[in-house]
Structure 1
Amino acid sequence: METNAAGTASADARRGAELSDLLGHVVTSWDNDRRALARQLHDSLGSSLTALTMHLGLLTAKLPADQQPLRDRATQMKNLLHTIIENNRQMQHKLWNDKLEFLGIKVAFSELVTQFSQHYAITARSSLPDEEPVCPREQAVVLLRVLEQGLSNVTAHSGATEVDVIVDDNDDEIMLTVRDNGKGVLEGRGIPPEGAGVGQYGLRLLRERARLLGGLLTLATHPEGGAVLSVVLPKPATQ
């Protein structure tokens, strides 16, 4: 009996390790695909739309002054192109935040929080380290995804009017905290803690991504009200 139990436990451990490896491969491939698609949208579609705008401007400049209907139609086309360009830019940003890769965590997070505050008319503050955090790209991506998830939760569930985003960085680990003053976790948010809520796949996937990096993601109600989403990632020993 003990031998069978040990064999079952060993098989379960192997399956668990295999599933972790598979998840790691899937999320890495997913990130790479999103990054490649965002760059294709920028390099191909974005460049073509910009060229169309320039050509339309040149044509509009050559229209006779007495052809007002044509000028009005050209203005409508120009406005439509600008809308498509902006939608393309937003899709690129949602797929992959190039600012995270080229300008770092501080710029990417600060701009995301500012844009969130302006778009949703919610007071959002960010507290970031004085120096740019130093961590592997895969950790920076997980931190960004957790921040995006936390802000999305605020608009979808919490009824919050204020959000604080805090990044703590030291030699051993990097930590992100997203705290709001809304309803908390259990009182209407519908985002359950560990082990519950089969519908919250976005949060559960982030929790597993944190685990793959040796970290921990938690969601809890703050003692003073509101919810706190946090992730702690240990830095590699070589850092």
Structure 2
Amino acid sequence: MTETPAAPLSPPGNDDLAELLGHMTSRWDDERRQLARQLHDSLGSSMTALSMHLGLLAKKLPDDQALQDRSAQMKQLLMNIINTNRDMQLALWNDKLEFLGIKAALDEAVSEFGKAHPGLAAQVSLPDDEAAYSREQNVTLLRCAEEGMQNVARHAHASRVDVILDDDGEQIMLTIIDDGVGPGDADLGMLDHHGLRMLQARARHLGGAVAFGPAPEGGAMLRMTLPLAAPKQAA
């Protein structure tokens, strides 16, 4: 029997690639969330139990300085593991995003960024009301803020960065603006860079867009705009 050769697949267009990339980032977010939850529920609870047991054992030790010192070292080592586990969980998934919403998550992200970059004043401006955005919208907005702030720290030579979240009832706008050197002609192609291309794909997957360019009063501005009602394929 003669086999009919399979028809070759047409190469995907730019819209198809953007949709695929947006779908993949959404799945990656789900995997990061699940891994963070596993670290919390399994490793985190085990480490906490070990810390309690070690504390009880330390009270039973004889009055021997060498044993007391070794117990203190073990307790410190265990605390380092617990803190590392918490840092890994936060790097994978911000629980505040899920339980307290985008405002709390952005507030924490900007605060932690400011602590990590003491020479860079980081401020956040948030709407008064807690908007009911979808989880995928919240994750996309948080990733945009994180990427934008990291780009400011790496490239802008700025003394201040502002993260501004707002919506007008129809679309959500997240703006990261700095007072640095501003983008040159070469920098205006920043959306070709991998991090910002990923943001662009995330935004397009949700029916939105990302823009990068000079800020009105100097420096640079990164803005993500998302429709308040996410498209059906992103729901």
Which category describes the TM-score, using the shorter chain as reference length? 0.7 to 0.9
Any runs of at least 4 consecutive aligned residues in structure 1 with deviations exceeding 4 A, and if so which? Answer: none
Q: Please list, as runs of the form range in 1=range in 2, the aligned pairs for 1:25-40 lying within 5 A after superposition.
A: 25-40=23-38
1:42 maps to which of 21, 40, 43: 40
Q: Does the CA-based 8 Å contact 1:60-1:71 persist in structure 2?
A: yes
2:204 counterpart of 1:206: no
Q: Secondary structure at the match of 2:128?
A: coil
What residue number does 2:7 align with? none
Q: Please list, as runs of the form range in 1=range in 2, the aligned pairs for 1:16-165 lying within 5 A after superposition.
A: 16-65=14-63, 67-121=64-118, 122-165=120-163
Structure 1 residues 101-132: Cα deviation after superposition (integer angstroms, max 9, x where no partner): 11011111111111211222121111100000
Cα pair distance change 1:237/1:161, threshold 3 Å:
closer
Q: Does the CA-based 8 Å contact 2:19-2:204 persist in structure 1?
A: no
Identity of aligned pairs, percent?
Answer: 52
Q: Does the CA-based 8 Å contact 2:122-2:161 persist in structure 1?
A: yes
Distance in structure 2 (CA, Å) of the matches to 1:20 and 1:111: 30
* Structural RMSD (CA): 2.1
Structure 1 position 17, deviation (Å) = 4.7
What residue number does 1:182 align with? 180
TM-score, normalized by length of structure 2?
Answer: 0.86
What residue number does 2:219 align with? 226
Q: Which has the higher contact order (CA 8 A, sep 6+)?
A: 2
Q: Does the CA-based 8 Å contact 2:190-2:196 persist in structure 1?
A: no
Structure 2, unaligned stretches of length 5 or more? 1-9
What residue number does 2:210 align with? 217
Q: Does the CA-based 8 Å contact 1:193-1:218 persist in structure 2?
A: no
Cα pair distance change 1:21/1:217, threshold 3 Å:
closer
Distance in structure 1 (CA, Å) of the matches to 2:147 and 2:91: 12
Structure 1 residues 147-191: Cα deviation after superposition (integer angstroms, max 9, x where no partner): 01011112222222211111112210111011111222238xx85
Structure 1 position 36, deviation (Å) = 0.5
What residue number does 1:193 align with? 189
AA of the residue aligned to 1:120: H
Q: Does the CA-based 8 Å contact 2:191-2:200 persist in structure 1?
A: no
Aligned residues: 221
AA of the residue aligned to 1:179: I
Cα pair distance change 1:161/1:237, threshold 3 Å:
closer
